[in-house]
Amino acid sequence: MHDGHNRQINYLRVSVTDRCNFRCAYCMPEQGVPMLSHDDILSYEEMFRVIRVFSQHGISKIRLTGGEPLVRRGITGFIRSIADLNTITDISLTTNGSLLAGMAGELKAAGLKRVNISLDTIDPERFRCITGGGDVATVIKGIQTALAVGLMPVKLNVVLTNIISKYDVAYFVDLIHREPVSIRFIEYMPIGDARVGPGPSIAEIKKMINSSGRGTLKPTLDIRGNGPAKYFCLPQAKGSFGFITPISEHFCGACNRIRLTADGKIKPCLLSNQEVDIKDALRSGAGDDEIVKLFYAIITNKPEGHTLSNSGNPTNFFRKMSQIGG
Ligand code: SAM
């Protein structure tokens, strides 16, 4: 399935909940966002129907996100049902990692292939501060368990804010020498009412890595994700670094994805207010052909690119990141 700009669309990101046990300072307001009621949220059966129907029209990869996907009860069974669809070849999950240690084994057994874990600093106090109370030790344990049960690859997402320090970068350099993880630095997108300041640029992070005494970053094409990261290796490392630049060098020309929000909207682009309601159709007895029509409507009208810049006005967006599913 190709969109109006001849991009192949094969990837659906599903936000299974708007709830989160963290309050990341760049993602969600301190007081949280107004909670949706149980009825406002799609049931797993409804999400499964969307995935099944879309998968008959070119969607073959699913990423589960949130809010925090692991706080929604029944996530393991949901993954198992998606894995049973022979049209879906890849199921992945983005998580804050806080509940992962206790769940990684069952998630893997259910059919989860790989996992992205957010980790913006390894300093316990700064971590508590940026996440609104999170415990970095539980996340490290989650990363270790994900590796131990064979979720592959394990990728870490580091949003670049003023919370990151040279000690974090040194830790990450060491980590990719010990473990086969990909650590991806992501430019902060100014779409919420952030309580953090801007962090180092990608060029500054590369400079810190190159001056760590462990060699010079070399671009590699050996590592490919479904997304926009550009990957780099160090000479003796088991893992790699990735850089994601939605602001300084956006990658809309290669975008392959659409999104389903927890409250039943399909979005063609993270950074667009455009959305199509699918919940009404699901709940008013629509046939699969009507669901397919909505799918084609959103893909045909997928914008060519976003226009967010560093000076982007956050009030332009009526959803916070946690309500879309980054
Ligand atoms: N709770 C999960 C987590 O923490 O990974 C999944 C949801 S979270 C919205 C998904 C990803 O979006 C995380 O990696 C997070 O760091 C990233 N993210 C959230 N707000 C962002 C922003 N303003 N700029 C860049 N990345 C952001």
Residue 227: per-residue pLDDT: 75
Q: Which residue has the tokens 């207010």?
A: 273
CA of 26 to the centre of ligand 1 (A): 8
pLDDT tens digits for 16-69? 999 999 999 999 887 777 888 999 999 999 999 999 999 999 999 999 999 999
Residue 56: per-residue pLDDT: 97
Enumerate residues lining ligand 1, CB below 6 A: 20, 26-27, 65-66, 68, 94-96, 118, 157, 159, 186, 188-189, 191-192, 321-322, 325-326
Distance of CA 223 to the CA centre of its chain: 18
- Could you tell me which of 53, 54, 50, 43 has the C-alpha nearest to residue 17? 43
Residue 20: per-residue pLDDT: 94
Residue 187: per-residue pLDDT: 94
Residue 197: per-residue pLDDT: 85
Residue 139: per-residue pLDDT: 98
Give the whole-angstrom CA distance, residue 6 versus residue 26.
33
CA of 213 to the centre of ligand 1 (A): 31
Q: Is 203 exposed, middle or buried (0-12, 13-18, 19+ CB in 10 A)?
A: exposed
Q: Which of 75, 114, 118, 324 to mutate to test the pocket of ligand 1 (most atoms within 8 A of CB)?
A: 118
- Gyration radius (Cα) of the chain, Å: 19
Which stretches of the chain score pLDDT less than 50? none
Residue 224: per-residue pLDDT: 66
Q: Which of 13, 23, 24, 121 to mutate to test the pocket of ligand 1 (most atoms within 8 A of CB)?
A: 24
CA trace torsion 133, 15, 223, 112 (10° rounding)? 90
Residue 190: per-residue pLDDT: 83
Q: Which residues pair with 115 in a beta bridge?
A: 93, 154
Nearest CA to ligand 1 atom 7: 66
Give the whole-angstrom CA distance, residue 317 versus residue 237.
40
Atom of ligand 1 at shortest range from CA of 117: 5
Atom of ligand 1 at shortest range from CA of 157: 14
CA of 312 to the centre of ligand 1 (A): 18
How far apart, in Å, do the first and last CA atoms of the chain sit?
Answer: 23
280 three-class SS: helix
Atom of ligand 1 at shortest range from CA of 96: 4
Nearest CA to ligand 1 atom 21: 27
Angle of the 288-300 helix axis to the 44-55 helix axis, nearest 10? 70
Nearest CA to ligand 1 atom 1: 68
Asked if residues 199 and 161 have their Cβ atoms less than 8 Å apart, the reply is yes
